Amino acid sequence: MNIDRNKINDEINDLRGSLQLGIHECKDAITKDNSKSNIQTSFNVLLALIDNVFTKICLIFENMNERMTALTKKVVEVEEQLTIYKQGMDVLTHRQMQNDKSLLLRELFNKPRDIIKESVRKVHLPMNYLDNIYDKNFEQNLDKQNTFLSYSINQVAQQIGLTSSELVKYLQVKQQSNANFHLNDEIKEFSKRHITDENYNLLNLIAEQQLLVSFNEVEQKKLQTVFEKICQILNKSSCEEHQPRFNRNDHVQVLYDDGQLYWATLNLFDSKTNKWKVVYDCREYGSEWVIARRIFKR
**Domain membership flag for residue 120:** yes
CA distances from 98 to 36, 93, 216, 240, 278 (A): 14, 9, 14, 34, 51
Q: How many domains, in total, are found in the chain?
A: 3
The mean predicted confidence, pLDDT, of the chain is 80
User: What's the farthest any 2 CA atoms get from each other in the chain?
Assistant: 106
- Report whether 193 contacts 185 (CB < 8 A): no
124 and 222 part of one domain: yes
187 and 211 part of one domain: yes
Distance CA 57, CA 52 (A): 9
Q: What is the pTM of this model?
A: 0.49
> Which pLDDT score is estimated for 68?
67
pLDDT tens-digit readout, 150-186 = 888 888 898 888 888 888 888 887 776 644 456 778 8
- Report whether 8 contacts 60 (CB < 8 A): yes
Going by C-alpha positions, the residue among 210, 126, 225 that lies closest to residue 170 is: 225
Residue 156 has a CB neighbour count (10 Å cut-off) of: 23
65 and 159 part of one domain: no
**Domain membership flag for residue 242:** no
**Domain membership flag for residue 246:** no
**170: Cβ–Cβ under 8 A, 6 or more apart, which residues?**
105, 108, 109, 112, 162
**Domain membership flag for residue 271:** yes
113 and 145 part of one domain: yes
Distance CA 114, CA 122 (A): 12
**Residue that is last in its domain, among 180, 208, 234:** 234
**Residue that is last in its domain, among 99, 130, 160:** 99
Q: Which helix (H) or strand (E) holds 84?
A: helix 68-108
127 and 63 part of one domain: no
80 and 180 part of one domain: no
Domain with 45, as residue range(s), is 5-99
224 and 111 part of one domain: yes
**Domain membership flag for residue 240:** no
196 and 115 part of one domain: yes
271 and 208 part of one domain: no
pLDDT tens-digit readout, 199-223 = 999 999 988 888 877 788 888 898 9
> Which pLDDT score is estimated for 216?
86
**Residue that is last in its domain, among 44, 69, 99:** 99
**151: Cβ–Cβ under 8 A, 6 or more apart, which residues?**
253, 261, 296
Strand ordering across the sheet containing 275-280: 287-291, 275-280, 261-270, 251-255, 295-296
> Which pLDDT score is estimated for 187?
86
**Domain membership flag for residue 127:** yes
Q: Determine whether 141 is exposed, middle or buried from the number of CB atoms within 10 Å of its CB (0-12, 13-18, 19+).
A: exposed
Going by C-alpha positions, the residue among 84, 19, 11 that lies closest to residue 47 is: 19
228 and 188 part of one domain: yes
CATH number, residue 266: 2.30.30.140
**Domain membership flag for residue 42:** yes
Lowest mean pLDDT among 71-85, 192-206, 213-227, 278-292: 71-85
Give the pLDDT mean for 107-124.
86
Q: Which helix (H) or strand (E) holds 157?
A: helix 148-160
- Report whether 70 contacts 5 (CB < 8 A): yes
> Which pLDDT score is estimated for 150?
85
122 and 73 part of one domain: no
Q: Which of helix, strand or coil describes residue 287?
A: strand
Q: Which of helix, strand or coil describes residue 297?
A: coil
Q: What angle do CA 55, 57, 59 make, to 5 degrees?
A: 75
CA distances from 288 to 158, 256, 283 (A): 31, 10, 12
**Domain membership flag for residue 161:** yes
Residue 265 binned pLDDT confidence (cut-offs 50, 70, 90): very high
21-35, 56-70, 137-151 — which one is most confidently predicted on average?
A: 21-35
Distance CA 110, CA 112 (A): 6
Amino acid making up residue 193: R
230 and 113 part of one domain: yes
